[in-house]
Homo-oligomer: A and B are copies of this chain.
Amino acid sequence: MREIWLVASLEFDFSMPFVFGVSGLALVFAAGLVLWILRQDAGTQRMREISDAIQTGAEAYLNRQYRTISVIAIAFAIILALVIRDPTNSWLGVQTAGGFLLGAVCSNLAGYVAMYISVRSNVRTASAVLSGLDRALKIAFRGGMVFGLAVVSMSLVGISALYLLFGDPRLSVGFGFGASFAALFAQLGGGIYTKAADMSADLVGKVEAGIPEDDPRNPAVVADLVGDNVGDIAGRGADLFESITGENIGAMILGYGLVVGLGFSNSWIVFPVVVRGFGLIAAIVGMFFVYARKNSDPFMALTRGLVVTAVIAAAAFYFLTDYMLNSPSMFYAALVGIVAAVLVAFITNYYTSYTKRSVQEVARAAESGPAPGIATGLSVGMESSGLFILVIGGAILISYGLGGGVQALAGHGTPAQVQMGIYATAIATMGMLSVTPMILAMDGFGPITDNAGGIVEMSGIPEEARAISDKMDAAGNTTKALTKGYGVASAALSAFLLFSAFLEVAALKGVDLAKPEVFVGGFVGAMLIFVFSALAVRAVGRTSAEMIKEVRRQFHEIPGLIQGSAKPDYSKCIDISTKSALKNMIAPSLLIVIAPVVVGLVLGSEAVGALLMIGTVAGVLVALFMNNAGAALDNAKKFIEAGNLGGKGSAAHAAAVIGDTLGDPLKDTAGPSLHVVVKLLNTITLSMAPLFILYALLG
Contact = CB atoms under 8 A, between A and B. Distances in A.
A534 interface: yes
A365 B545 contact: yes
A545 B499 contact: no
Given A374-B374, A519-B496, A621 B511 contact: no
Nearest to A408: B516
Interface in A596-642: 604, 606, 609-610, 613-614, 617-618, 620-621, 624-625
B379 A537 contact: yes
Contacts of A409: 516-517
Contacts of A514: 499-500, 503, 508-511, 609
A650 to B, nearest CB: 15
Given A503-B514, A513-B513, A519 B613 contact: yes
B517 A411 contact: yes
Contact of A519 (B396, B524, B533): B396
Interface string A20-34: 000000000000000
Interface residues of A, number: 88
A509 B411 CA distance: 14
A46 to B, nearest CB: 32
Given A370-B658, A371-B199, A382-B531, A526 B610 contact: no
A393 interface: yes
Interface stretch (A131-139, A335-343, A383-391): A383-391
A53 interface: no
Contacts of A613: 513, 519, 522
A534 B371 contact: no
A369 interface: yes
A541 interface: yes
B503 A207 contact: no
A244 B160 CA distance: 58
Among A385, A534, A620, the most chain B Cβ lie within 10 Å of the Cβ of: A534
Interface in A517-553: 517, 519-520, 522-524, 526-527, 530-531, 533-535, 537-538, 540-541, 544-545, 548
A510 B515 contact: yes
A526 B522 CA distance: 13
Interface in A99-126: none
A526 B538 CA distance: 25
A522 B617 contact: yes
Contacts of A534: 378-383
A400 interface: yes
B411 A548 contact: no
A662 B530 contact: no
A368 interface: yes
A207 B369 contact: yes
A499 B503 CA distance: 24
B618 A540 contact: no
A553 to B, nearest CB: 14
Nearest to A607: B411
A251 to B, nearest CB: 16
A394 to B, nearest CB: 8
Contact of A411 (B207, B392, B515): B515
Nearest to A369: B203
Given A385-B530, A527-B621, A199 B665 contact: no
29 contacts: A368-B545, A370-B658, A370-B662, A372-B541, A372-B548, A375-B541, A376-B538, A379-B533, A379-B535, A383-B530, A383-B531, A383-B538, A385-B531, A386-B527, A389-B523, A389-B527, A392-B523, A396-B516, A397-B516, A400-B516, A409-B516, A411-B515, A509-B514, A510-B512, A511-B514, A512-B513, A513-B613, A519-B613, A523-B617
